[in-house]
Copies of this chain bind each other. A is one copy, B any other.
Amino acid sequence: MKRNSQLDEQGQLRHFLSVEGLGRAVLTEILDRAETFAGVASRAVKKVPLLRGKTVINLFFESSTRTRTTFELAAKRLSADVLNINIATSATSKGESLLDTLRNLEAMHCDMFVVRHNQSGAASFIAAHVAPHISVINAGDGSHAHPTQAMLDAFTIRQLKGEFNRLRVAVVGDILHSRVARSQIHALNILGVGELRVIGPKTLVPDSVTSLGVHVFHDMRSGLKDVDVVIMLRLQRERMQGAFLASEHEYFHLYGLTEDKLARARPDAIVLHPGPINRGVEIDSRVADGPQSVILQQVSNGIAVRMAIMSMVLGRQVESVEVKH
């Protein structure tokens, strides 16, 4: 049996590039560990010394203040040293290749690369080429994956709704271009969600999605019927300029989450969104700010989940180094 390239020889998580291919045990371990970190944020001293003396590099080829901030906070609360490198504006400006840049950062004894890139597969490419002591975390690559987002969503769902196998979950919006949706579908499948639905216009739902055991709905009211969890996707406005969508107004009419449409779901259904939200485009403010919205809880959980993943991939190394000495 081929071992997943994210695991080391002992089967422990070394990289976190995609939830695809990971087992339920690993994902559950991430969620369980995140639970222990969720309490750290409400302490007076929000720090634990787990990664003291480790060096984490935020290697951002695509700028994203929000995502960079969550990883920087997570790393600092684990007591790691953090360096932000914006590759777009700097490292390759002297004509150095990406691999040469990586070799140099490795030689400086960095321990982790948090990679954000606008091309699918970039984080995996980097993981395939780094030295054995380095871990890579995918902070979003093109339209491929955004696995830490999917895990914080799963964490929030479990925290609020309990066992996955009893839940009906709908993901709504631009499935086709969304790395978040791809990662969510894989994560929720692996975690054994009861029923998984996707809802969106025909132009934005790929045919291949049914092979993932997902029920496809193009009518939002039908799709939301009796669900426990509604996950809204951010609408990339640049899609508006292509042939995919008629107008923001029409999109909101058909697929924007309003109180009216939400009433089709179970009364205790929760609403998630990866942020930043487009108010009045994919979600109405009354829902976003309403009692069923858990959008800000997702943000809080994002720090805990990232702390969990970072400490798992590097904790692994700490142990092996400790054995060596």
List the interface of chain A (C-beta within 8 A of B).
Answer: 41-47, 52-55, 63, 65-66, 69-70, 72-73, 76-77, 81, 83, 85, 90-91, 94-97, 100-101, 103-109, 237, 275-279, 296-300, 302-303, 317-318, 321-322, 325
Contacts and interface: CB of A to CB of B under 8 A. Distances in A.
The quantity of this chain's copies bound in the complex is 3
A104 B73 CA distance: 13
Given A47-B53, A54-B46, A300 B41 contact: no
Contacts of A318: 44
A52 B44 CA distance: 9
Contact of A97 (B47, B91, B279): B279
A276 B69 contact: no
B322 A44 contact: yes
Instruction: Name the residue among A46, A83, A104 with the largest chain B CB count within 10 angstroms.
Output: A104
B54 A94 contact: no
A73 B299 contact: no
A109 B278 contact: no
A318 B303 CA distance: 21
Nearest to A54: B46
A317 to B, nearest CB: 8
A96 B277 contact: yes
B46 A109 contact: yes
A303 B325 CA distance: 22
A235 to B, nearest CB: 11
Contacts of A83: 69, 72-73
A94 B276 contact: yes
Contact of A104 (B46, B66, B77): B66
29 contacts: A41-B109, A43-B53, A44-B53, A44-B318, A44-B321, A45-B53, A47-B52, A47-B53, A47-B81, A66-B91, A69-B85, A69-B105, A70-B108, A72-B83, A95-B237, A96-B276, A97-B279, A100-B275, A100-B276, A103-B296, A104-B275, A104-B276, A104-B296, A104-B299, A106-B296, A107-B296, A107-B298, A107-B299, A108-B303
A106 to B, nearest CB: 8
A96 B55 CA distance: 31
Instruction: Name the residue among A46, A105, A109, A318 with the largest chain B CB count within 10 angstroms.
Output: A109
Given A96-B276, A103-B296, 20 more contacts: A44-B321, A44-B325, A45-B52, A46-B109, A55-B73, A65-B90, A66-B104, A69-B85, A69-B105, A73-B83, A77-B81, A94-B276, A97-B279, A100-B275, A100-B276, A104-B275, A107-B296, A107-B298, A108-B299, A109-B300
